[in-house]
């Protein structure tokens, strides 16, 4: 398959006629030649166009994920996720030919630095609060590269590992701690009581991952409470991006009988971002 036609996607055909028309028009807009050649897109202008006159600040966290979609290709997606609102907005997507990207962590670090330095400041109504990442080898290496830079963006923002890798362990303390911290209304009056309760458990049981979670989310709570009387952290997870990853994988199944190319994956990602309004 040389070209992807958006109207062949099942998700597109679930839309109303009006939404199909809008999506088709967006998908068929010509891309900058550089983006076409290198199979990437930035969505800074699209985010600005869709949120032109926001009167209230929109706090968000930044995250990125690398998704293996083929033996030769991976997707790299950077997203903004609302801290107190449920929005999930893709600001950058690219398709990597893995064999040609020898130092993937360096490549990702460069893009992250560029987004934070040049793109995110353009979003005047949006305020970045922290970076939330899956706890995997690539992401840990990216954070190390950023930490070693001078100056380092790690000194400007909290970098936090998502609790998803241990949240569902057969450990009642981990389950209960995560559930309460993420779902309780936290304020200056109760923050110490809430976190100290679970610090004692983590220390007694020597649960280092739980101690790290409590340290990270205590520091995050302090940052967020600087602007609000009380907060709830239930949206401070990677559930939204994980769900979008599942959507991408499910759509890839429809192409198992086709020759998969970097161009096809790029067109599919672009189509899904449009269809799912990400």
Q: What is the residue extent of each domain of the chain?
A: 6-162+237-275, 165-234
Interatomic CA distance for residues 126 and 191, integer angstroms: 26
Interatomic CA distance for residues 4 and 11, integer angstroms: 14
Cβ-contact 257, 240 below 8 angstroms: no
Peptide bond into 63 cis (omega under 30): no
Q: Which residue carries 């907060």 as its tokens?
A: 231
Interatomic CA distance for residues 130 and 159, integer angstroms: 6
Interatomic CA distance for residues 94 and 160, integer angstroms: 23
Cβ-contact 252, 268 below 8 angstroms: yes
pLDDT in tens, the chain (278 residues): 568 899 999 999 999 999 999 999 999 999 999 999 999 999 999 999 988 777 788 999 999 999 999 999 999 999 999 999 999 999 999 999 988 988 899 999 999 999 999 999 999 999 999 999 999 999 999 999 998 887 778 888 999 999 877 776 788 888 899 999 999 999 999 999 999 999 999 999 999 999 999 999 999 999 999 999 999 999 999 999 999 999 999 999 988 877 899 999 999 999 999 999 88
Confidence (pTM): 0.94
State residue 85 phi and psi, 5-degree precision.
-125, 160
How do strand 126-133 and strand 158-161 relate by DSSP bridges? parallel
3-state secondary structure at position 126? strand
Distances 187 to 76, 81, 163, 181, 211 between C-alpha atoms, Å:
36, 22, 22, 12, 20
- In sign, the C-alpha dihedral spanning 104, 108, 111, 113 is negative
CA contacts within 13 A on the Cβ side of 73: 16
Cβ-contact 77, 265 below 8 angstroms: no
- In sign, the C-alpha dihedral spanning 46, 34, 122, 95 is positive
Interatomic CA distance for residues 155 and 142, integer angstroms: 15
| Geometric angle at alpha carbon 226, from 43 and 64, rounded to 5° | 30
3-state secondary structure at position 3? coil
């Amino acid at each position: 398959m040389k070209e992807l036609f958006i109207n062949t996607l099942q998700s597109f055909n679930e839309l109303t006629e009006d939404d199909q028309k809008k999506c088709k028009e967006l998908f068929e807009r010509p891309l900058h030649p550089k983006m076409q050649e290198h199979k990437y897109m930035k969505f800074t202008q699209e985010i600005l166009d869709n949120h032109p006159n926001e009167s209230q600040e929109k706090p968000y966290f930044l995250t990125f994920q690398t998704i293996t979609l083929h033996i030769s290709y991976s997707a790299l997606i950077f997203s903004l996720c609302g801290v107190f609102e449920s929005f999930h907005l893709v600001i950058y997507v690219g398709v990597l030919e893995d064999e040609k990207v020898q130092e993937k962590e360096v490549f990702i670090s460069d893009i992250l630095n560029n987004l934070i330095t040049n793109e995110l400041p353009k979003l005047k109504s949006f305020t970045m609060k922290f970076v939330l990442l899956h706890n995997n080898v690539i992401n840990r290496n990216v954070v190390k590269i950023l930490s070693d830079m001078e100056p380092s963006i790690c000194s400007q923002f909290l970098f936090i590992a998502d609790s998803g890798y241990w949240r569902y362990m057969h450990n009642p303390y981990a389950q209960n701690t995560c559930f309460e911290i993420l779902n309780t209304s936290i304020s200056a009056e109760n923050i110490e009581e809430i976190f100290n309760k679970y610090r004692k458990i983590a220390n007694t049981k020597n649960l280092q991952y739980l101690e790290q979670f409590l340290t990270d989310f205590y520091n995050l709570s302090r940052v967020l409470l600087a602007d609000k009387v009380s907060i709830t952290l239930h949206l401070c997870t990677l559930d939204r991006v994980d769900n979008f990853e599942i959507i991408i994988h499910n759509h890839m199944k429809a192409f198992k009988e086709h020759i998969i190319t970097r161009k096809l994956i790029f067109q599919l990602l672009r189509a899904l971002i449009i269809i799912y309004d990400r």
